[in-house]
Amino acid sequence: MWQRWITAINDMKLRTKLIFSFIVVVFVPVLIVGFFLTGQLRAMALNNAVEQTAINVERVMKRTSDVIDVAYDNAYRFANDELLEDVANRRYDTTYEVVSAYRDFTEFRDTVGLYKEISSVRFYMDNPTMLNNWEFIPPTERIVNAPWYKDAVEANGLAVWRYMEDERYLKQTLSLVRKIDFWEHRSFGVLVLNVNMEMLQDILLQETFDTMIVDSNDRIVAANRTDRIGLTLADIDMVQDPITAGETGRFEGVVDGQWSEIRIESLVPEASANGLRIVSVFSIETIVADANRINRLALSVIGASLVLSLLLMYAFSGMLSSRMLRLSKHIQRMAAGQWRTTVRIDGKDEIGQLARQFNSMSASIADLMDEVEETNRQRSLLESKQNEIRFKMMASQINPHFLFNALESIRMRAHLKGEKEISRIVRLLGKMMRKNLEAGSRVIQLADEIDMVRCYLEIQSFRYEDRLKFELHVDPRAEATPIPPLIIQPLVENAVIHGLENKENGGTVRIRADVVGDRVRVCVEDDGIGMSPETLQRLNETLQAPEELEHNRIGMRNVHVRLQLSFGPEHGLVIRSAVGEGTSIHFYIPLGGNRYV
């Protein structure tokens, strides 16, 4: 993995590499530091807001507790007031007695006048002899079935805090509702003390964050945003499990469509069946707005600085890369063969020094190439002459033994009987001798070589009579293929002399020339006596021998070497043979006659 990165960097252009190094060394670290610092600034702003929220909630809790504790203390006092017990449980005979008792009982009015935290006091008592003066109220069936009334009865003397409607003034207030038992009379009443909502509202209006007092039913009792008073948490899109479940602590959630920080603290007065919760909410986006503005300003300054630096780096790298590009173009000219090329680059830095060294090297290489070209010219001329001589010498190395035997056979046949067949044989022999004399040309067509082979085989058939048979199979597509002269005829001669001459019943020689892909495969086969593995090995060693031996001047090595000189080392002879099964020799030549040398 690391090696691939190194390779990719090395493959970059110089200008790209300089810009990349600037980005890695300067651009990325500056961005990392910038994002880190701006992130820390945002986090500090958020943490300060969280701490301030905690302080605000604590302050609201203390001041709210001071207000509602007054209601609780008075409720406790009324629960032990003997005069209240007497007034609530007395059986009145006349209306005058009721009015007189109400006039003498001033505790409720005195409490409202003495404590500004309490706006009104009501007492519900099931006494049919009492009248409703908005302080003592006989409960109707509707009141008895009201949830707040039932909660107070079931609380058995514990205070219940409810946000409920005041029957007299028809407005919602936070009320302390408590059942007061009169054990001596085996009766009870329900006391309701309404908290002064203006005082609660004044407490919250002093807070900077959205702050609310919520009862146990998630009803907003008071809030510094007055439009929320009387609503539930669900009404302000604040329905979340931890909040609606009554939990306390810090939470994050969506309030009024904004992601916000929420702090909830519980306020449960002493000897109360339920309590209140103080909820403070601030929008995270609003808190970090100033930090984000500073962040944007800082990022803009950093970005502008980096862009300016990048432009300067681009200009500087352009100056450097243009000089390197000029040097590279001159190197390409030298690679194209313009050895005497000179580059002019100003400066004494490494690039200027490299240019001067290049000019010196160019001059040295040009002189050296002139010497090499002259040497190669002379060597090529020498090799050409040597190959020409070698081809002519090889083509002229024909053993006259065949001609002697043929002429002797013709003489003996003419002596015994004067047939016209002798005329044909003499004609074929003349044709062969004429073609042999013309063998000094570099190439002939395969059809001409096959024609000479046919003449040779017909002459040998005349000599051996029925002991020799031959077959020629030549693909018409291969007939025009160029081939060196006297390539196939020596192979056929070896097949006749060494393969069939010593075989009592004679045999058959087959010559095939087939097109295989883009090559021509020439094969000479006989069904003669064959060769032992040792003989075949010696023959193959002779073909591969580096020096020609005197007794190998004519024959297969001659053919093998000429094929390799003409078409390449892979185009030599391939021999297969077995004793009693005959011999097969084949080789390949290019179909178009492309030459190796």
Which domains, ranges and CATH numbers included, belong to the chain?
Answer: 51-287 (3.30.450.20), 397-590 (3.30.565.10)
pLDDT classification of 489: cutoffs 50, 70, 90: confident
Which range of 178-192, 245-259, 386-400 scores highest in mean pLDDT? It is 178-192
Tokens found for residue 43: 């986090």
pLDDT at 502 over 90: no
Q: Identify which has the larger pLDDT, 241 or 84.
A: 84
pLDDT greater at residue 92 or residue 437 = 92
d(CA 410, CA 418): 11
Span 509-528, average pLDDT = 92
Amino acid, single-letter form, for residue 71: A
Tell me if 497 sits within 8 A of 401, measured CB to CB: no
Distance (Å, rounded) from C-alpha 70 to C-alpha 569? 119
Q: What are the beta bridge partners of residue 277?
A: 214, 266
Residue 163 has a pLDDT of 92
Asked if pLDDT for residue 241 goes beyond 60, the answer is: no
Q: Are 584 and 471 in contact (CB under 8 A)?
A: no
- The number of beta carbons lying within 10 Å of the beta carbon of residue 231 is 16
Query: Per mean pLDDT, which of 136-140, 229-233, 245-249, 539-543 is the most reliable?
Result: 136-140
Per-chain mean pLDDT for the chain? 79
Percent of the chain topping pLDDT 70: 72
Model confidence over 424-482: pLDDT tens digits? 676 676 666 666 655 555 678 889 889 889 888 888 887 777 788 889 999 999 998 99
Question: For the segment 15-37, what is each residue's pLDDT rounded down to a tens digit?
Answer: 676 666 767 766 677 777 767 77
Region 75-88 average pLDDT = 91
Rounded Cα–Cα distance for residues 109 and 102 (Å)? 11
Pick the more confident residue, 221 or 428: 221
In 336-349, alpha helices (H): none
pLDDT > 90: percent of the chain? 23
Q: Where residue 306 falls among pLDDT bands split at 50, 70, 90? A: confident
Q: Would you place residue 553 in the very low, low, confident or very high pLDDT band (cuts 50, 70, 90)?
A: very low
Phi and psi, residue 562, nearest 5°: -65, -35
- 340 band by pLDDT with thresholds 50, 70 and 90: low
| E strand spans, 50-110 | none
Inform me whether the pLDDT recorded for 116 exceeds 90.
Answer: yes
What pLDDT, on the 0 to 100 scale, is given for residue 424?
Answer: 67
**pLDDT confidence of residue 596:** 45
pLDDT band at 385 (very low <50, low <70, confident <90, very high): very low
Q: What's the pLDDT at 514? A: 94
Q: Which two tokens stand for residue 276?
A: 């209140």
259 closest CA partner among 235, 230, 288: 288
Count CB neighbours of 18 within 10 A.
18
**CB-based burial label for 93 (10 Å; 0-12, 13-18, 19+):** exposed
Q: Model pTM? A: 0.47
Q: Specify whether the CB–CB gap between 297 and 305 falls below 8 A.
A: no
pLDDT in tens, 355-382: 677 677 777 777 777 777 777 765 665 4
Q: Indicate the length of the chain as a whole number.
A: 597
